Structure 1
Amino acid sequence: MARAIGTYELLPTNEDTPLPTPAVQHDRFSWGPRNFCSRLFAFRRARYFLGFILLALCLLIPYRLYERHASKYPPLYEKYHAKELALPQHNPDLPYPEGREGKYLWVSAHLDGGFGWGNFMQELILDAYLAHKDGRAFVFDNYTWDRHGPEYSEYHGHLIPSRIPLTALLAGPIVGGPFPGVDHSPRSVRKEYFDTVCPDPVKIKGNDLIDTYVWGPTTILVEKWLERLELTNSKCIEVVEGSQQMFSLWTFGTTNVLSLWPDLVKSPIITGFRWSPLVEAGYAKNIPLINPPSVTHPSHYGETYPYTALGGLLALQIRRGDFEEHCVNLLNWGANWQGFNRFPELPDQFVAVPGAGTFNISDEARAEHLKRCYPTPGQIADRVREIMQTDAGRNLENVYIMTNGQPDFIAEVKEALRGVKAWGSIKSSRDLIVTREQDYVKQAIDMLIGIRAQVLIGNGWSSMSSNIVMLRMALVDLAPDHHRFWFDLHMLNLLAIAQSLANKIVQVV
């Protein structure tokens, strides 16, 4: 067996071979030119080896420190930005309708600074639609929380990216993809390219028309914008920042926007709509957990696109957070549901609770409003139970909860839903398994799941539900009764009767 000699370790030897003493071994390696050269060579090898180790540590330690530091901050999606800048249409020498002779529309006045993705997406779709109608290349930049500030913003005590490249969220014509079919319209371009090819654009203001025409049919507003763009007689137009959006929040808050639907639904902006590969990858990874296969509903896991319906899946959109206060404001304002939540063929139609928009709101009416805007776990379970009695909801097997609610609230909802039936799976937004980049676009993954669910129960006042319902109506082959809301028409009728009786009593008195 090998034994320790001084501070060295010998290779294994035969037990019958006597081992030299430390002094003898030292002498053997010290005398003679040959042994001296061998010793020197061994020293140099050790030095090189130690140098390599030190170099590796010098490289590894800073990388680990950087990795630990970077993990504390949201991603900045640099590769997405780089790909956007490298779009092939960013070439001034391309022939018309692209290149330096093409026409461009840059809406610098788009939403930012505190508005969520749902509001931003609504406006984005109509801006791109208008540009296409006018034969212009739509100019896009980012999903923007803070346009001019640092790379990171603070939201409810957490850091978020101030600007996310749109290709991290979307694909298709809106963000520079080709138009479907034989449509050879000019492709969308990045703002940076617009600055190059249009150094001196004609500037117009959003409130020139929106203030006048927002309360009428949106088709008229679009016609007026097309006339205005034509009158500028310029290939490069910018709607200046701070001058109001071309399609404001009020555009989407009434049924006026539905006048545009017959044309919008045929537009390549909608027919060519697609979520980004990042979003679709997040969907594909999680859908086996959210909607596990069954005998009744086989797997759709290998099918990311087109956006067909997922049999057996019920999606619930349950807003929390700032909606607690916002729902009260909506009642006091007498606000209607979002326009695209009010297609006339949908079974649940908006009916205001008695006294909405006034100071004469009973406790019963207030409670009914909150039931539709901010439902409790028990009310959520009751509504699901009702939907399951309909033709659209008879074969539901799994539930996905789209929510920004806290874990304890989600746990209460899950427990209430388990009292409805033995579900195969009940998952929520907080159960999604996502990468670091997907974590900051989870709302889009939620929306894709909601679009493909067999039945959706949404919030009528929510822009997120509005976008989901619109895309379900356009892209998914489902009957209108598969799109539902938190709603109780029976209770509303009772409240209306009670309010009417109360008014008659007051008149008599």
Structure 2
Amino acid sequence: MLLAVRWRRVLVMIFLILLAAILTWIYWLYRPPYALYDYLTEKELQSARASDSMSNKSAKFVLFNQLQGAGFNNQVQEILIYHHLSLPFIWRPRFHQPLPLSAFLPGPTIDGVPVSFLEQICPQDDTVYIQIDALYDDLWRTSQKILARPEKCIIITNRIMHWNYLSSSALSQVWPSFQQYLGRYFAWSPQILDITRRTQKELRLRPHQSHYTQHDSSNQNQSGDSYMALHIRRGDFKSHCASLASSQTPFTTWASLSSLRDSRILSAITLQAQAHPHVRTLHILHDASIDHPNVYIDIMKLKAALTNPDWAARNGWGESGPMRRITESSMIPIKHGEYDFTVAVDMELARWADVFVGNGYSSLSSQVVAMKDGVGGWDPEGYYSDMIL
């Protein structure tokens, strides 16, 4: 009896030691790269101090009322649209933003000035505070007129890129100029691009050969499989998607472009698998976590169906058969301090996929749509047929 008690104590001790080791490893792996962020924050401040705009009396500045505390892509799409709207004005979305923007999106930070410099560069007698109120169809033009005012500093006091506007048909008028903006200014940071190339190599995901541009020459001649990218939403948004669909709420931002088709997940994958028999590798984009196990269950169901030869045959996948290989976000080979960048890496993987199946209510899917067309050098004849929402 005494021996059994001792063994139980030993087993409990071993369990606690293993648990402590696992928790320590998770903390170490997912700990943000604070040293990098501190370095980039200081570099941004130094660049701003050395910028001609600080001493240029004719320079103008605008500060927008920006979304805070939301998901990565909700903020990314707003940053890019505001930057596009404000050009050639000087702006940087630093209000209550704890991370250096150059760690993710270096384009909007070029020649920008942190909001901490506001008092130094904006004299009170040459600063105007404005609330923009306009009908959706006229919101963009009204905002442009306001930014053309003569004051040195313009501070917009209300949020204008709110959900209702982003899901309205009025935003389509912005797309042609925003498309050109992306081609000129959009770029991920070196950290994100390095992880993307590592992931493509280790997961054997070959970028679409027809998408190469002079800016993406490092992706040429890569080995691996042509692949389809699938974005599914997190478990806590499952009911949200259902309610949006039942109320016939329009898709968000660039997912509402009229040339895109919409469908259900399995039928969408089937349509693309039939149209692209050479694509039998799938990469699933998700942000599942231990507190949302439903996503893992959904992924297991998808894998079971999409790798089943009988299921593929019944659904007309042809002689190429079912998916032969499936990768997912949790397989991205991140190193210490790289976890913050995985969402952007997934987006870049989706941009380089032969086929993209997304969710029209998701800002991530919407941004992938914009990146594929605005940045990626796609064949204009086949671009829209290679995406479905």
Fold match (TM-score > 0.5): yes
1:383 aligns with 2:296: no
Query: What are the equivalent positions in structure 2 for 1:243-254 lying under 5 Å apart?
Result: 243=158, 245-254=159-168
Aligned counterpart in structure 1 of residue 259 of structure 2, from 345, 361, 371: 345
Structure 1: distance between partners of 2:26 and 2:272: 48
Deviation, 1:249, is 1.9
Q: Which residue of 2 aligns with 1:213?
A: 135
CA RMSD of aligned residues (A): 3.3
Deviation, 1:304, is 5.3
Structure 2: distance between partners of 1:396 and 1:68: 36
Query: Greater strand share, 1 or 2?
Result: 1
**Structure 2 vs 1, CA of residues 190 and 78 (structure 1 numbering), >3 Å: closer, same or farther?**
farther
**Structure 2 vs 1, CA of residues 271 and 72 (structure 1 numbering), >3 Å: closer, same or farther?**
closer
1:2-53: CA deviation from partner (whole Å, max 9, x where unpaired): xxxxxxxxxxxxxxxxxxxxxxxxxxxxxxxxxxxxxxxxxxxxxxxxxxxx
Aligned counterpart in structure 1 of residue 191 of structure 2, from 278, 285, 300: 278
Partner AA of 1:91 in structure 2? R
**Structure 2 vs 1, CA of residues 484 and 469 (structure 1 numbering), >3 Å: closer, same or farther?**
same
Mapped contact 2:62–2:154 kept (Cα < 8 A): yes
Mapped contact 2:227–2:281 kept (Cα < 8 A): yes
Mapped contact 1:255–1:340 kept (Cα < 8 A): no
Mapped contact 1:93–1:100 kept (Cα < 8 A): no
SS at match of 2:151: coil
Q: Which residue of 1 aligns with 2:284?
A: 401
Q: What percent identity do the matched residue pairs reach?
A: 19
Query: What are the equivalent positions in structure 2 for 1:177-192 lying under 5 Å apart?
Result: 187-192=111-116
Q: Which residue of 2 aligns with 1:91?
A: 49
Partner AA of 1:80 in structure 2? Y
1:256 aligns with 2:190: no
Structure 2: distance between partners of 1:274 and 1:426: 28
Deviation, 1:171, is 2.3
1:220-250: CA deviation from partner (whole Å, max 9, x where unpaired): 322211222333x32122223xx3x132222
Structure 1: distance between partners of 2:279 and 2:119: 51
SS at match of 2:305: helix
SS at match of 1:400: strand
Structure 1: distance between partners of 2:59 and 2:299: 51
Task: State the structure with bigger RCO (CA 8 A, min sep 6), 1 or 2.
Answer: 2
1:430 aligns with 2:354: no
Deviation, 1:400, is 0.4
Deviation, 1:293, is 5.8
Q: Computing the radius of gyration over CA atoms, which structure comes out larger, 1 or 2?
A: 1
Q: Which residue of 1 aligns with 2:301?
A: 412
Query: What are the equivalent positions in structure 2 for 1:42-53 lying under 5 Å apart?
Result: none
Partner AA of 2:85 in structure 1? L
Q: Which residue of 2 aligns with 1:336?
A: 250
Q: Which residue of 1 aligns with 2:318?
A: none
5+ long unaligned stretches in structure 2: 1-23, 289-294, 313-320
Query: Greater helix share, 1 or 2?
Result: 2
The normalised TM-score by structure 2 is 0.76
Runs of 4+, deviation exceeding 6 Å: 67-70, 306-311
Q: Which residue of 2 aligns with 1:237?
A: 154
5+ long unaligned stretches in structure 1: 1-66, 148-161, 177-186, 350-370, 487-509
Aligned counterpart in structure 1 of residue 71 of structure 2, from 90, 108, 116: 116
SS at match of 1:286: helix
Partner AA of 1:137 in structure 2? I
1:311-355: CA deviation from partner (whole Å, max 9, x where unpaired): 721000111322212023213432011241232333x15xxxxxx
Structure 2: distance between partners of 1:93 and 1:403: 40
The normalised TM-score by structure 1 is 0.59
SS at match of 2:229: strand
Tell me the number of residue pairs that the alignment of Structure 1 and Structure 2 aligns: 339
Q: Which residue of 2 aligns with 1:175?
A: 109
1:88-128: CA deviation from partner (whole Å, max 9, x where unpaired): 6423672x696454111122x10013x21222112111110
